């Protein structure tokens, strides 16, 4: 799966927040943030169909993007700053000081835009040239300094643009980062931040709303600081292909109805449960189809996050900037997922996990101090996860050229998660992104299609 990366670097620059904002911002990292410190960065791509010349790109689009980014960072100053992890006593914090900035790379590519924005299986390595790497970790006498955001804009002459986003998960969850991306798009489209300000969706930074009476932040920091190393870039080749699968609303309804027929005691099956359960079982069955040797009793784990903002005893504002995610884990046995009723079994265990952990008051943070220990216990186990959420519609991020033609979650190449978002083309539909070895992707495609035919 050798790939020729035809990308030319045009400019590397730094963009600082516009004047008039805060000049010094320090935010404590809560236990919701510290939990993500050892994890690799999140990488996203947004492709826009917008035919333009190299000259127009460099003389008009790039200056406008720099100006709009600077104005957006005025409201999102932590993204221009760094994470500070103490080398001695104390816990980490986020710090922005006047003069801090975000790395922005401007590039040009002769790669096939239409191929990259397709849904069919393509070499996963093709996409890595369009996402920037975070600047390296440095040290001050008292702190390890970790950059949190890097951006790249790549021109495909006379075809379109690609925006690459790389962020450290500890600075903010999908709600926060998608909020920033949409804010930048709004400022770019409307040539100013007045619409952003009037929308009353500016980020809320007050950390006092996160209550931590037992000091989980200190517990987590004690556990993770030994892993605080510079995150290496993913080694290429990945030996994977990536593809996108679409479930239309009518197909999701069929999945729901099938589960309720097989499990009538379930009061409700959401689109999330039906979709993730179906994909989970297709992944397990595709592994079996290509001869993966797994013991029948081997546990199969499905992990996903839940936004805690509206679910705490004292609800957190929806525009709270940072991480505010709870962890939910559904577990079954391998034999229960590969059998004929595997899909219904998967939907049952995911639905029960949500009912027990999310819908029951006070349960979402119960045992939160053990999250990292729980994660560590899953290393080397069979774990599937979800990146993204249909709640955050990046297809509405319009920089002035309409909706993105395609969204790709590049970081799923690293951990085997699936990406999940609203469908661009079908109202009520969902897009599922996968990155798998080609043999397994071929098997998945067959299992996925055949399963829908049998509903």
Looking at every residue in the chain, the average pLDDT score rounds to: 94
Phi, psi for residue 378 in degrees, rounded to 5: -95, -5
Distance, in Å, from the CA atom of 440 to the CA atom of 446, rounded to the nearest integer, reads 10
Asked if the model's pLDDT at residue 1 lies above 90, the reply is no
CA atoms of 385 and 302, how far apart (whole Å): 6
Given 75, 169, 193, 212, the catalytic residue: 169
Tell me the per-residue pLDDT of 381-432, one tens digit each, with 9 for 90 and over: 999 999 988 888 999 999 999 999 999 999 999 877 899 999 999 999 999 9
* pLDDT of 135 over the 90 cut: yes
What share of the chain in percent tops pLDDT 70?
Answer: 98
What percent of the residues of the chain are helix, what percent strand, and what percent coil, each to the nearest 5?
35, 25, 40
pLDDT of residue 233: 66
Residue 18: pLDDT band with limits 50, 70, 90: very high
Residue 169 annotated as catalytic: yes
How sure is the predictor about 5, in pLDDT bands with cuts at 50, 70 and 90? low
pLDDT tens sequence across 247-295 = 999 999 999 999 999 999 998 899 999 999 999 999 999 999 999 999 9
Q: Given this model, what pLDDT does residue 230 score?
A: 60
CA atoms within 13 A on the CB side of 272: 20
* pLDDT computed for residue 2 by the predictor: 41
Edge-to-edge, what's the strand order for the sheet holding 430-436? 122-123, 241-247, 430-436, 418-422, 383-387, 299-307, 325-333
**C-alpha 402: how far from its chain's center?**
22
Per annotation, catalytic residue among 112, 195, 398, 442:
398
Model pLDDT, residue 227: 72
Burial (CB < 10 A; 0-12, 13-18, 19+), residue 36, is buried
pLDDT in tens, 68-127: 999 999 999 999 999 999 999 999 999 999 999 999 999 999 999 999 999 999 999 999
- β-strand 383-387 against 241-247: which pairing, if any? unpaired
Kindly tell me the burial class for residue 235, based on how many C-beta atoms sit within 10 Å of its own C-beta (0-12, 13-18, 19 or more).
exposed
d(CA 54, CA 62): 10
Q: Is 398 an annotated catalytic residue?
A: yes
CA 152 to CA 103: how far, in whole Å? 8
Q: Give pLDDT, residue 198.
A: 87
> Average pLDDT of 167-196?
95
Residue that has been written with the tokens 């809320």 in this structure: 204
Res. 437: pLDDT tops 70: yes
Alpha-carbon distance of 134 to 403, in angstroms, equals 26
- Report yes or no: 102 and 79 within 8 Å, Cβ to Cβ: yes
Could you please report the per-residue DSSP string of 224-247? HGGG--PPPPPPS----EEEEEEE
């Amino acid at each position: 799966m050798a790939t020729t990366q035809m990308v030319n670097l045009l400019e590397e620059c730094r963009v600082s927040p516009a004047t008039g904002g805060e000049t010094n911002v320090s935010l404590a990292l809560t236990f919701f943030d510290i939990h993500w410190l050892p994890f690799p960065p999140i990488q996203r791509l947004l492709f826009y169909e917008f035919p333009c010349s190299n000259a127009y790109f460099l003389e008009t689009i790039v200056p406008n993007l720099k100006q709009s980014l600077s104005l957006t960072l005025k409201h999102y100053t932590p993204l221009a700053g760094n994470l500070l992890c103490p080398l001695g006593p104390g816990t980490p914090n986020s710090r922005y000081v006047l003069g801090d900035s975000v790395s922005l790379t401007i590039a040009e590519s002769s790669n096939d835009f239409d191929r990259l924005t397709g849904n069919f299986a393509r070499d996963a390595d093709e996409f890595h040239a369009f996402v920037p790497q975070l600047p390296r970790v440095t040290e001050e006498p008292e702190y390890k300094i970790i950059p949190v955001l890097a951006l790249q804009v790549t021109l495909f002459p006379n075809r379109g643009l690609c925006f690459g986003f790389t962020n450290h998960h500890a600075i903010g969850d999908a709600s926060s980062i998608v909020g920033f991306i949409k804010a930048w798009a709004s400022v770019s489209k409307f040539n100013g931040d007045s619409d952003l300000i009037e929308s009353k969706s500016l980020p809320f930074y007050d950390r006092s709303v996160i209550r931590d009476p037992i000091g989980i932040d200190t517990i987590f920091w004690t556990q993770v600081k030994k892993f605080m190393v510079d995150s290496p870039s993913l080694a290429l080749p990945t030996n994977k292909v990536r593809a996108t699968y679409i479930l239309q609303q009518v197909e999701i309804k069929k999945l729901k109805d099938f589960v309720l027929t097989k499990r009538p005691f379930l009061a409700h099956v959401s689109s999330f449960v039906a979709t993730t359960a179906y994909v989970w079982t297709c992944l397990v069955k595709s592994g079996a189809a290509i001869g993966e040797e797994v013991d029948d009793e081997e546990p199969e784990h499905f992990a996903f996050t839940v936004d805690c903002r509206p679910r705490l005893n004292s609800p957190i504002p929806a525009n709270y900037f940072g991480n505010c995610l709870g962890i939910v884990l559904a577990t079954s046995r391998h034999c229960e997922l590969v059998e004929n009723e595997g899909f219904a079994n998967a939907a049952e265990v995911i639905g029960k996990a949500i009912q027990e952990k999310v819908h029951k008051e006070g349960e979402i943070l119960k045992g939160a101090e053990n999250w990292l220990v729980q994660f560590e216990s899953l290393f080397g186990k069979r774990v599937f996860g979800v990146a993204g959420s249909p709640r955050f519609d990046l297809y509405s991020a319009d920089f002035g050229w309409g909706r993105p033609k395609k969204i790709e979650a590049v970081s799923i190449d690293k951990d085997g998660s699936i990406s999940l978002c609203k469908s661009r083309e079908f109202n009520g539909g969902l897009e599922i992104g996968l990155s798998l070895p080609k043999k397994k992707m071929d098997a998945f495609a067959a299992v996925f299609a055949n399963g829908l035919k049998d509903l």
